[in-house]
C-alpha cells in the first residue's frame, strides 16, 4: 500500500531547473490573473547566492526572473517543501528568503532607493501526505490584539501554496499540464496509476517533441512510484521512457493481483486491530469511568503487540497512566 516515500528534493530541483517545467507549473496551477502581465516566453533562471541561517543554501529552492510585458521583472521564489510534516513557520522562512533575495539584488545590481525593489511571488510546492494547514501569511503568525495601533508596523508577506495531494485525482487526470502528471506519479494509489501516468507522459512528449528535456526524470519518478507501492523490481532498468511503459504494462496484471491481495491482508489486520482497541476501550471505561481524550488517540495508533500488553495491565493498574507506561 502507499507509504510516505516521495521523490527527492534533488529530483524536483532538476525538474524545475528547466524553464519549460516552470512555465508548465505556473500555467497549470496558478491563478490566471497572476500571469496575464507576465512574458513567460522570456523566463530566465536567477542564480541566487544567499544562504540560510546555518550557512547553507537550500538546494531545493529555485528562483526565476519573469519579465513583465510593460517592462521590469517579477522574481518567482519557488520553495520545494519535502518535509514529512507541515512546516508551521513557512511564512517566516519565506519572509527571510525574500529579504535575502532583495539584499542580493540591491548589492549585485547596484539598486538605488529611487529604483525601487522588483515584486516577488513566493510559491511553496508541497508534496507531503498531511494536507497543508500552516499559515500562508506572516501576519497570521504575529500575536497582536485586533485593532492594535502596532499592526501598521508589522511585516506583511504571503506565499502562494501548491499542495499536490489536495488536487482531486480527476482534476489532475483531466489537466493537459505535464506537471499534473508529475503530481499523479507522486501520489499513486495503485500500480494502474503508475502505468497510466507513464502512458500519459509518453503521449505528452509525442505531442510536444520540443518540450523540456525531462523524459529521464519522469523515468526516475516512475521507479520511485514503484518503490512507494512496494512492487516487485524490474529485471533491468530501462533506458527509455517508452520502454519503461511497455515493461510496466506487461507486468500490470500480476502487480495488480499482488497489490489487491496485500490490500486485503492489510484490511484484515486493520479490522482486527480496531476490534481489539474497541474491546480494550470498553474495559478501560468500565474500570476507570470517563477517559481523557488522549486514551483513544493512543489506542488508535497502537500495533497488535502493544494492544495485547496494555490489555494484560487493565485489572492490575490503579491508575490509567500505568497501563500506557
What would you report as the CA-atom Rg of the chain, rounded to the nearest whole angstrom? 25
Model pLDDT, residue 265:
43
Task: Of 242, 244, 241, give the one whose Cα is nearest residue 233.
Answer: 244
Per the structure block, which three cell numbers stand in for 158? Answer: 504571503
Per the structure block, which three cell numbers stand in for 134? Answer: 500552516
Task: Of 183, 125, 130, 129, give the one whose Cα is nearest residue 159.
Answer: 125
Residue 251 lies in a domain: no
Q: Is the pLDDT of residue 47 over 90?
A: no
Residue 58 lies in a domain: yes
Q: Is the pLDDT of residue 233 over 90?
A: no
Q: Is the pLDDT of residue 302 over 60?
A: yes
**Taking the CB of residue 177, how many other CB atoms lie within 10 A of it?**
17
d(CA 300, CA 297) in angstroms, rounded, equals 5
Question: Which DSSP state fits 74?
Answer: E
Bridge-based pairing of strands 73-81 and 160-163 is unpaired
pLDDT digits (tens, 9 = 90+) for 168-215: 999 999 999 999 999 999 888 887 888 889 889 989 998 998 999 999
Residue 89 lies in a domain: yes
Q: Which residue has the cell 491482508?
A: 265
Q: Where are the strands (E) in the chain, listed by range?
A: 44-46, 61-67, 73-81, 120-126, 160-163
Residue 255 lies in a domain: no
d(CA 270, CA 276) in angstroms, rounded, equals 10
d(CA 66, CA 44) in angstroms, rounded, equals 7
Residue 304 lies in a domain: no
Q: Is the pLDDT of residue 268 over 80?
A: no
Residue 59 lies in a domain: yes
Residue 257 lies in a domain: no
Helix-strand-coil split of the chain, %, nearest 5: 55, 10, 35
Per the structure block, which three cell numbers stand in for 172? Answer: 489532475
By CB neighbour count within 10 A (0-12 exposed, 13-18 middle, 19+ buried), where does 49 fall?
exposed
Q: How many domains does the chain have?
A: 1
Q: Is the pLDDT of residue 253 over 80?
A: no
- pLDDT confidence tier of residue 239, bands split at 50, 70 and 90: confident
- pTM higher than 0.85: no
pLDDT digits (tens, 9 = 90+) for 86-134: 899 999 999 999 999 999 999 988 888 899 999 999 999 998 888 999 9
Per the structure block, which three cell numbers stand in for 212? Answer: 523540456
Per the structure block, which three cell numbers stand in for 69? Answer: 510585458
By residue range, what is the domain housing residue 109? 1-140+151-166
In degrees and rounded to multiples of 5, residue 221 shows phi and psi of -65, -35
In degrees and rounded to multiples of 5, residue 122 shows phi and psi of -80, 130
Residue 300 lies in a domain: no
Per the structure block, which three cell numbers stand in for 19? Answer: 524553464
Amino acid at each position: 500500500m502507499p507509504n510516505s516515500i516521495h521523490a527527492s528534493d534533488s529530483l524536483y530541483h532538476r525538474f524545475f531547473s528547466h524553464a519549460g517545467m516552470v512555465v508548465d507549473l505556473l500555467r497549470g496551477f496558478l491563478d490566471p490573473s497572476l500571469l496575464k502581465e507576465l512574458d513567460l516566453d522570456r523566463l530566465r533562471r536567477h542564480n541566487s547566492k544567499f544562504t540560510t541561517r546555518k550557512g547553507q543554501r537550500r538546494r531545493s529552492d529555485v528562483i526565476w526572473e519573469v519579465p513583465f510585458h510593460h517592462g521590469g521583472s517579477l522574481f518567482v521564489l519557488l520553495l520545494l517543501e519535502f518535509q514529512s510534516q507541515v512546516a508551521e513557520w513557512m511564512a517566516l522562512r519565506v519572509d527571510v528568503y525574500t529579504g535575502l533575495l532583495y539584499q542580493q539584488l540591491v548589492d549585485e545590481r547596484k539598486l538605488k532607493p529611487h529604483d525601487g525593489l522588483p515584486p516577488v511571488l513566493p510559491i511553496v510546492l508541497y508534496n507531503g501526505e498531511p494536507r497543508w494547514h500552516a499559515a500562508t501569511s506572516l501576519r497570521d503568525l504575529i500575536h497582536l490584539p485586533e485593532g492594535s495601533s502596532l499592526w501598521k508596523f508589522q511585516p506583511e508577506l504571503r506565499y502562494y501554496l501548491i499542495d499536490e495531494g489536495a488536487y482531486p485525482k480527476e482534476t489532475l487526470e483531466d489537466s493537459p499540464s505535464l506537471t499534473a502528471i508529475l503530481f499523479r506519479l507522486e501520489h499513486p494509489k495503485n500500480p494502474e496509476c503508475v502505468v497510466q501516468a507513464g502512458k500519459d507522459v509518453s503521449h505528452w512528449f509525442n505531442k510536444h517533441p520540443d518540450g523540456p528535456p525531462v523524459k529521464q526524470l519522469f523515468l526516475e519518478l516512475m521507479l520511485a512510484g514503484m518503490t512507494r507501492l512496494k512492487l516487485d523490481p524490474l529485471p533491468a532498468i530501462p533506458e527509455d521512457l517508452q520502454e519503461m511503459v511497455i515493461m510496466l504494462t506487461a507486468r500490470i496484471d500480476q502487480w495488480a493481483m499482488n497489490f489487491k491481495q496485500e490490500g486485503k491482508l492489510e484490511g484484515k489486520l486493520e479490522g482486527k486491530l480496531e476490534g481489539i482497541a474497541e474491546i480494550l476501550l470498553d474495559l478501560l471505561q468500565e474500570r476507570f469511568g470517563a477517559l481523557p481524550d488522549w486514551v483513544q488517540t493512543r489506542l488508535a495508533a497502537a500495533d497488535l503487540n502493544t494492544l495485547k500488553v496494555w490489555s494484560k495491565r487493565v485489572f492490575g493498574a490503579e491508575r490509567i497512566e500505568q497501563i500506557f507506561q
